[in-house]
Each structure stands twice: as C-alpha cells, then as structure tokens.
Amino acid sequence: MTDSFAAVFDGLILDADGVIYRGPEPVPYAIEALVDAVREIPWCVVTNNAANPPGVVTAKLIGLGLEATDDNVVTSPHGAVAYLIDAGFEPGSKILVVGGPGIEDALVAGGFVPVRDRHIGPVAVVQGFGPEVGWHELAEASYAIAGGAVWIATNLDRNIPTQYGLAPGNGALVGAVAEAVGRRPDAVTGKPEPLLFELAAGRMGASRPLVVGDRLDTDIEGANRAGMESLLVLTGVLTVDDLGLLAGLEPVARPRYLAADLRCLAGAPRDVEICEHDPLTVDPLEVDPLDPVRALLHRIWSGSVDVSDVREEWQEACRAAAEGLRARDS
Ligand SMILES: [Mg+2]
C-alpha cells in the first residue's frame, strides 16, 4: 500500500478556475473529491483574480458544496499587501487602487488607506483586474507612477476567458500603463511569482504542500519557483487533447504529478507521479490510461530518450490516453 496524499503532503494549495470550478459550474468530480480529501489535509485556494474580496470566492465554494471560510482563500491583493508591509510601508499609508473591491478590502485589512485620487498623495499604486477599470483609472495610476509612486501589479495574466472568448486581463491593462509611463511595475505579486504560494503555506503551517493547478505558466511554474511539488489536472486550460505539448516543456513548467482530474486525491501520489510505473504493482483492473504518457514523459524529461527519436511513440501514447480517458468517463 503506497502512501496517501495526506501521508505525503501537509497542505493542498488549489487553483480555483479550471480546478474547482469553471465559471459558475463545478469541475466534474472536483467537489466530491475535495470534500473527502480536505477531511485529512489543510487546504487553501490561491487565485490571481483581484476583482473580488475573499468572501466572494468563499461563498462560491460553499455554494458548490465545500465547507470553506475566508481563511481558505488567498488572493493576489493579499500578496500586494504582504509586499507593501515587507517593503516597509507604514500602516496608514495611502495607496492608489486600480481595480475592484478585492484590492480595497485587502488594503484596509492590512492597515493601509485605499484611495482613488492621486491628488491625495498615494505612495504606491496597486493595480489589479476589475471589469469597470477604464481610462480614467489607468490615467490616475500613470500620473502617480510618473510622480514616484511604487507600482505593484497583482498579476500579469494577459487575458481572461469569458463565455464569448478571450478578453483583456490585468496584464493587458498593466501593459497600457507601462506603455504610457515607459517602464514596468516594480513588483508583481500573483502567480507565477512564488509569494501567494508562500502566504498560503504559511497560513496552513504547511512545510510540504502540494500545488494543484490547470495552467503551466502560472500554477506549475509558480510552484516550481516556490520550491513546491505540483499536480497538473486536465480540467481547465489544458485537456486530454493537449498532452502532446508536455514533452517540450522547460524544466520550470514541469509538474511532478499528472492526473485527468481530482479523483486522483483518493489514491496515492505515487499513482500519478510522472515516472516509470512498475507494471507488476499495477492492478490490471485499475489501469490508468495516463500511465504510458507519464512513463514516456519521464524518459523524455530525464533525457534518457530524445523526443525526436520517440515522436511517433509519444504521439501514439497521447492519443491512446485521450481515447482511454474518454472511454472511461463515457
Ligand atoms: Mg486555473
């Protein structure tokens, strides 16, 4: 019997969109799997979305069936506040806000005074996403930054998936200000920067947390940069049809574990580890269609084979895994 997730890890750091929910809908199997898993492991959701206060995320999780409190949610504005405190800004400092109420709430909770008018003399600008952000707010931020204010972006996500397609994300709006002022932000607090993961681990008292995410460039890269292990699930940005691209990943974007969805949390990390799986230990009734992908990926990433020499085998493994996973869930 191999060790369970709770035996190996002392905290779960979960991305929300594409891992727990997609828009208003729960990700298939995610809630049931988490309800069971979090009986044994402390957990925390880490989201780059700065628009809403943690309470909005908490309410959404509760609505989906998870017992959650605001302590289970870390947002990128929390990271901005941690940065301000760490950088030595005094309590009561005025901070110009670009973005939604999530930023204002976090600043107030951290002892700072959020303002919307540069004439009040803000010492820093915190820029995060809010659907109402317009030219006037971007202009206020630009003037304050040009006047010497420290500039913190909550995240640099280029786009936001909506029901109509991709819309400009905070990174695009930060880019607009950067074009105007001729420089980049002084700090970025959201994923893939390690700060939010470190805050989440600290809050849980976890020394060996597992990061679970659906995006390579934020969740998995952020975990690697924070020195944490990560599990990639195929329920969000990447699906079973995207396995092929994993072979070409740079080391910083490679997860240690790969699973179709969160049902894997009922098993053992060893079962979903990207490594050679000993066929003698695998129960033939529970063959995981992803095992050949994990095994070949391990050989490619470790350099024991060159991807150009096994291209056909790799493509076939990915195709068979996608077909096997579809057949399993149909
Ligand atoms: Mg996500």
Q: Are residues 325 and 198 in the same domain?
A: yes
Please report how many Cα atoms fall inside a 13 Å half-sphere around the Cα of residue 275, on the Cβ side: 9
Q: Are residues 134 and 179 in the same domain?
A: yes
Hey, how many other C-beta atoms are within 10 angstroms of the C-beta on 210?
A: 24
Is the residue at 320 inside a domain? yes
Q: What is the pLDDT of residues 179-190, one digit of tens each?
A: 999 999 999 999
Whole-model pTM? Answer: 0.92
Q: Which residue has the higher pLDDT, 53 or 224?
A: 224
Residue 140 alpha carbon to ligand 1 centre in Å = 31
Domain endpoint, select from 162, 188, 214: 188
Residue 64 alpha carbon to ligand 1 centre in Å = 17
| DSSP string for residues in 51-112 | SS-HHHHHHHHHHHT----GGGEEEHHHHHHHHHHHTTPPTT-EEEEES-HHHHHHHHHTT-
Is the residue at 218 inside a domain? yes
Report the C-alpha dihedral over residues 156, 243, 212, 53, rounded to 10 degrees. 40
Q: What is the pLDDT of residues 252-285, one digit of tens each?
A: 999 999 999 999 999 999 999 999 876 666 566 6
Residues with CB under 5 A from ligand 1 (ion): 15, 17-18, 214, 236
Domain endpoint, select from 188, 216, 251: 188
Task: Work out how many domains the chain is built from and give that number.
Answer: 2
Evaluate the CA torsion angle 255, 232, 225, 38 in order and state its sign: negative
203 by Cβ neighbours in 10 Å (0-12 / 13-18 / 19+) ranks as: middle
Q: Are residues 182 and 210 in the same domain?
A: no
Q: DSSP character for 27?
A: P
Evaluate the CA torsion angle 251, 252, 256, 260 in order and state its sign: negative
Domain holding 153, by residue range, is: 77-188
Q: Please indicate whether residue 15 is annotated as part of the active site.
A: yes
Evaluate the CA torsion angle 11, 15, 18, 23 in order and state its sign: positive
Q: Please indicate whether residue 71 is annotated as part of the active site.
A: no
pLDDT at 24: 86
Residue 6 alpha carbon to ligand 1 centre in Å = 23
Q: Which two tokens stand for residue 50?
A: 């700065």
- Distance from C-alpha of 226 to C-alpha of 291, rounded to nearest angstrom: 27
The pLDDT-based confidence of 287 (bands split at 50, 70, 90) is confident
Q: Are residues 212 and 323 in the same domain?
A: yes
Q: Are residues 147 and 204 in the same domain?
A: no
Question: Which residue in the list 3, 10, 15, 157 is annotated as catalytic?
Answer: 15
